[in-house]
Amino acid sequence: MKSICFFSSYFSGNQIPYYVKFYLEELSNYFSEIVLLTNEKLILQSELDYLSFKKIQLRLYENEGMDFGMWYKALNEYDRTDYNKIGLINDSCILFKSLKPFFEWENKSELDYSGMVATGKVSYHLQSYFLIVNKNAIPFVYEFFKENGIKKTYKGIILNYEIGLSEYLLKNKMKIGGYFDYKNRTDVNPSFILADELIEKGSPLIKKKIISHNYYLGDYLTWFRNNFNIDYRYYVDLIKKNNTEEALIDFDKVIKELNPDSSLSYISKYNMGLATYKILSKSAALRFLFHRFILMRRKLRVDE
């Protein structure tokens, strides 16, 4: 039986980013088929030649329903009975080193549905940027996608798919689990707030937003509340420090592609905002109002 990975990626322009190619080439070591899913666009012939040379399939879809919308369309194209393992992975993280330790763990785990990170936030579920569906769970996943279709809102995607899929599989007696298990952390998104801890534990991934600084306003408020270090250089240095014997992605190329605002003034402004928050939060009344504002902003975002 074969395995297949559906890799969802949104990028502007007609060239495939370096960090996406790095990810695809590493995934090809663990799946017999790799399919790049991206939004409809013209892609340079040289990039098509690259995909052909690497034996990576390409599917272009209308951009709707985010990654789960892409996966929904791909699953409709491929016969589930051909595969005993399906990867549902997206480019919201930068892969910076080998995935071998994860797949060694995954192959021994006997899990039906596994991921890089499990969290207890909202309810126990696997974070959806890196998911592995094994043979027993494949029919249930196909049925779940068939029943739910394409969700258009961020809230619908998170609640119905990221969280809902884990709940659905648990109800159907599937064994699920994460390589990094934060089921007892109901207070934070570990992939952001605990990014440095994950790096020190050996994670091969870091959220792309941490490098690109492509944050929402509501994100900044959450970062203040959790004393989050926004300087991407801190995380790059930490990755290099904790992986001295590993072959790593070329971070200079990644940073050039993502073009983060790395000016000292940007970081200084954030740190000033963080210091102001710390002062204001000493007042219970101001802290309450500040957190109410966070919740209101987040509600507006998820209802978009």
Query: pTM to 2 decimals?
Result: 0.91
Q: For the domain bounded by 1-187, which CATH number is listed?
A: 3.90.550.10
Spatial distance between the Cα atoms of 206 and 235, rounded to a whole number of angstroms: 9
Q: Give the tens place of pLDDT for each residue, 178-202.
A: 999 999 999 999 999 999 999 999 9
Q: Would you list the domain boundaries of the chain?
A: 1-187, 208-304
Encoding tokens for residue 205?
């991934």
Q: Answer for the pair 134, 113: CB distance below 8 angstroms, yes or no.
A: yes
- What is the per-residue pLDDT for 303? 38
- What is the per-residue pLDDT for 295? 64
- What is the per-residue pLDDT for 304? 35
- What is the per-residue pLDDT for 298? 56
Taking 70 as the pLDDT cut, the residues of the chain under it are 261-264, 286-287, 290-291, 293-304
- What is the per-residue pLDDT for 164? 93
